[in-house]
Amino acid sequence: MRHIQSRIDEPAAYESFRRRRRGCLAGLLSWRRERTSVSPRLPRLELVWLPYYLICFRGQSPAGEQTLTVSVQGHCGAFAVFQMHELLVEGDPPGPFFPPQMSESAAVLVGRKELVGTLLRVRSVRGSFTPEEMLSTEIVQYPYWIYYFLRRRKSIDFKTLDAVTGELAASKLKSAVLSAFCATSEARS
């Protein structure tokens, strides 16, 4: 198995969440409330790895035959063109990671459909690549910082930070995290 190493360490992730919550008065007040929370375990951070399928397609471009790699998230099906080959590390990630819920064949279908849709939507790349066949697929674990905190009515919530780019993850990834946690919980019981 391969994974992508985290580039954002714990203090930087904590500061990133803290800085984003200071943006408004409600964020300041909730940050103060969290520090004096009745739960000594919250707020807290955890680094987890979520599964992605890397799918390599062969196709034609004006320059000739080329390959293009896309990633499909293994729980929610989020799609992206993959350009982080130099960050891949051999071995299991040094923390909790999850198996994908989506099958490989479903991920390949999502990857092909989203790639064709992206190529049709973006004018600058329209006609620059025509996918033909799938060459390979593999599962790669991608890191995210999960920030757990207490909301007003003592309900627990979390935010997700991409541990490679430092950007807040999209809401679709929040559902992927919940799906991964639930699937692991069901497997244990």
Domain ranges in the chain are 1-189
Paired tokens of 158? 């979390």
pLDDT per position as a tens digit, 73-118 = 999 999 999 999 999 999 999 989 999 999 999 999 999 999 988 8
pLDDT per position as a tens digit, 27-39 = 545 544 444 444 5
Bridge partners for 133 per DSSP: 58
Paired tokens of 109? 């279908």
| CA separation for the pair 10, 12 (Å, rounded) | 5
Contact status, residue 101 vs residue 75, Cβ threshold 8 Å: yes
Provide the whole-model pTM. 0.82
User: Closest Cα to residue 115, out of 93, 136, 141, 134?
Assistant: 134
